[in-house]
A = this chain, B = another copy of it.
Amino acid sequence: MRTFFDCIPCFVRQALDAARLVSDDEAVHEQVLREVLRAAAEMDLRQSPPAMGQRIQRMIRRLTGVNDPYRDIKDHFTRVALAMYPGLKAKVDASPAPLETAVRLAIAGNVIDFGVDGEMDEAKVRDGVAHALAAPLEADLDGFGSAVARAEEVLYLGDNAGELVFDRLLLERLPTEKVAVAVKGAPVINDATRADAEAAGLTGLVEVIDNGSDAPGTILGDCSEAFRRRFDRADLIVAKGQGNYETLSDVPREIFFILKAKCPVIAQDLGCEVNSLVARRSARAPVNGSPQAN
């Protein structure tokens, strides 16, 4: 997805929110603001929004001298999610449609997104769960189930720390021996890195790899070659969250996008209402049907 004009004021607001979250120093807030304004003025709008997110977060890390400013937030939300996990797992197990319930809960976890909401808290996570269990879900779950069954390798692109615990509920319904989960190669916002996958209990369940990048999404050209090989080789890509949708929606291969459409620009691009639960097979699947076409 390209960057829309409406993303620009939102970048500036996000940068200010992020600067305030990681520093109390007004001089830092002002420097971040001025730098992001200059960067946005020259931005190539054909890039996806996470390209600017990556620049903003690098700027904030540089200006604050803190390499992982969201470390405490990430740890906190992993703990919050782990405390909810047993109850949610029981819900999936008791569900007449466990795959659907697991997909809904994976979407619920997608609210833990400090790129969108810098005032996220535990109550909002609980609201997200209630909403995700009740709201309409437009999803071809049979298609998803058979694509997983057919695949020799499934690559699940994770999104945020804490959210991974919710993903675990879905991963546990998949043939884990052929599933790998990818996390970010370095800290960016509250996106999950390897430490968060470990804390979420994923390393004992599936293979965990990292993508070598610090973009809040999957900018393939910015990922490591090792990751790109895995991406090309996988028969099925499951891409979690807005950042992965924004960076991969135009990639010409079949991808299952699972997310909550939290922003109006993404909702419009998807053709749905804001806050919709989305589990959708990429419209960009190649005509010959080969998942290796990329």
Q: Which of A's residues lie within 8 Å of B, judged by CB?
A: 5-6, 8-10, 12-13, 16, 26, 29-30, 33-35, 37-38, 40-42, 45
> Is the CB–CB distance between A9 and B16 below 8 Å?
yes
Q: Which of B6, B34, B38 contacts A16 (CB 8 A)?
A: B6
> Is the CB–CB distance between B33 and A37 below 8 Å?
no
Q: How far is the CA of A103 from the CA of B34 in the complex (A)?
A: 40
Q: How far is the CA of A10 from the CA of B16 in the complex (A)?
A: 12
Please give me the residue from chain B that is nearest to A42 by CB atom: B34
A273 CB, nearest partner CB in chain B, Å = 19
- In the assembled complex, which residues on chain B have CB atoms less than 8 Å from the CB atom of A37? 8, 37-38, 40-41
- In the assembled complex, which residues on chain B have CB atoms less than 8 Å from the CB atom of A33? 5, 8
- In the assembled complex, which residues on chain B have CB atoms less than 8 Å from the CB atom of A12? 8-9, 12
> Is the CB–CB distance between A30 and B45 below 8 Å?
yes
A160 CB, nearest partner CB in chain B, Å = 23
List 5 additional contacts besides A8-B16, A8-B37, A35-B41; criterion CB under 8 Å.
Answer: A6-B16, A12-B12, A37-B37, A37-B38, A41-B41
- In the assembled complex, which residues on chain B have CB atoms less than 8 Å from the CB atom of A35? 41
- In the assembled complex, which residues on chain B have CB atoms less than 8 Å from the CB atom of A38? 37-38, 41
> Is the CB–CB distance between A9 and B13 below 8 Å?
yes
> Is the CB–CB distance between A5 and B9 below 8 Å?
no
A118 CB, nearest partner CB in chain B, Å = 13
Q: How far is the CA of A49 from the CA of B42 in the complex (A)?
A: 24
Q: How far is the CA of A228 from the CA of B226 in the complex (A)?
A: 69
Q: How far is the CA of A118 from the CA of B38 in the complex (A)?
A: 26
- In the assembled complex, which residues on chain B have CB atoms less than 8 Å from the CB atom of A13? 9
Q: How far is the CA of A26 from the CA of B10 in the complex (A)?
A: 18
Q: How far is the CA of A6 from the CA of B9 in the complex (A)?
A: 11
- In the assembled complex, which residues on chain B have CB atoms less than 8 Å from the CB atom of A45? 30
